[in-house]
């Protein structure tokens, strides 16, 4: 089972003076190019969940997300591609005449949205809450926020097949950690992994990731300093970085995840955190649809 991937997944190797000066190779795995909507890591997290829903004979996929969730929109598109309807449980109340572009796009792809309070949303992983949801939507296959379950991690482990074994470091942005742990579980322990957390105080993800690892493999770390004020928050220096990065490398970055990772990795390279000869592969996890809300600030689409 596969959706119609539109491009071969390639690695761009960046040419830059600072990389040359430090003797570092930096590649970007372009998962953003695989599909215009179900881009980046999202299809990998969804594929085994959707396969299970189809096998079960479920009518619809139900999942959770905020107003800018790439996961919600990817779920809406993927469900539609498989002839399933979709239901999105959205964090917080949003007036119908003031919905984010992401939520509009979800509706346009046939997703039925239900808004719940932030308080209720914080209960979304509890048995009590999930039982209520299952009663309310008995024909739905429920996927947790961000596709963060065992099937999600089974899917993201497959990203490893796209990673050549010449790289010493694999770097990616982290939201729930499902992509990070899936890859860590499948990658040789000798390869170092770094995750850039997208939210303020992302250190809590360390415990969540540990629980999802098949063994307590060493050789991974979370970098929590490059959140720029919090999840989906940005400032002028991040915007300037995104525009300059595009100018130089012709690679668009998203404002929530991949721009913060790339900003951070260049910062760490400049401050000589990587030994000479390091071969670093950053994973472009997609998310470009989220740039809609700042398109007036960007020199690219």
Ligand X SMILES: *Cc1c(COP(=O)(O)O)cnc(C)c1O
Is there a contact between 61 and 49 (Cβ–Cβ < 8 Å)? Answer: yes
How far is 80 from 101, CA to CA, in rounded Å? 18
Q: Which is nearer to ligand X, 259 or 278 (CB)?
A: 259
Closest-CA residue to 178 (of 10, 15, 49)? 49
Report the 10 Å Cβ neighbour count for 278: 18
DSSP state of 197: E
Q: Which residue lies nearest ligand X, judged by its C-beta?
A: 287
254 sits near ligand X (criterion: CB under 6 A) = yes
Report the 10 Å Cβ neighbour count for 201: 10
Q: Is residue 212 flagged as an active site residue?
A: no
286 sits near ligand X (criterion: CB under 6 A) = yes
Residue 49, judged by CB atoms within 10 A of its CB (0-12, 13-18, 19+), counts as buried
Least distance (Å) from ligand X to the CB of residue 277?
A: 28
37 sits near ligand X (criterion: CB under 6 A) = no
Q: Is the dihedral of CA 264, 267, 273, 277 positive or negative?
A: positive
173 sits near ligand X (criterion: CB under 6 A) = yes
Among 41, 75, 140, 149, binds ligand X (CB under 6 A): 41
Among 27, 66, 175, 202, binds ligand X (CB under 6 A): 175
Q: Tell me which residues in 52-91 interact with ligand X (CB under 6 A).
A: 70-71
285 sits near ligand X (criterion: CB under 6 A) = yes
Catalytic annotation, pick one of 39, 58, 60, 69: 69
| Residues marked as catalytic | 69
* Binding stretches for ligand X (CB under 6 A): 40-41, 70-71, 146, 148, 173-180, 254, 257-258, 285-287
């Amino acid at each position: 089972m596969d959706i119609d991937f539109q491009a071969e997944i390639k690695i761009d190797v960046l040419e830059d003076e600072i990389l040359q000066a430090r003797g570092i190779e930096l590649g970007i795995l372009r998962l953003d190019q695989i599909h215009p909507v179900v881009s980046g890591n999202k299809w990998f997290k969804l594929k085994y969940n959707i396969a299970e829903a189809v096998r079960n004979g479920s009518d619809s996929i139900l999942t959770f997300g905020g107003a800018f969730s790439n996961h919600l929109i990817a779920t809406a598109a993927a469900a539609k591609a498989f002839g399933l309807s979709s239901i999105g449980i959205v964090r917080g109340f949003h007036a119908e005449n003031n919905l984010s572009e992401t939520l509009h796009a979800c509706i346009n792809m046939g997703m039925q949205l239900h808004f719940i309070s932030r308080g209720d949303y914080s209960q979304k992983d509890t048995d009590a809450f999930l039982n209520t949801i299952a009663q309310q939507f008995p024909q739905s296959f429920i996927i947790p926020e961000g596709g963060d379950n065992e099937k999600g991690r089974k899917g993201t482990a497959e990203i490893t097949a796209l990673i050549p074994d010449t790289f010493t470091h694999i770097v990616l942005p982290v939201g729930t950690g499902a992509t990070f742990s899936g890859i860590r579980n499948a990658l040789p322990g000798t390869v170092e992994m770094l995750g850039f957390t997208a939210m303020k105080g992302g250190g809590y993800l360390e415990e969540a990731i540990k629980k999802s690892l098949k063994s307590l493999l060493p050789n991974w770390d979370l970098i929590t300093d490059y959140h720029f004020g919090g999840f989906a928050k940005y400032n002028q220096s991040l915007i300037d970085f995104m525009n300059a990065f595009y100018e130089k490398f012709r690679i668009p970055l998203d404002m929530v995840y991949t721009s913060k990772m790339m900003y951070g990795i260049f910062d760490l390279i400049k401050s000589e955190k990587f030994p000479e000869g390091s071969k670093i592969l950053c994973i472009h996890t997609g998310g470009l649809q989220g740039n809609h809300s700042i398109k007036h600030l960007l020199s690219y689409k």
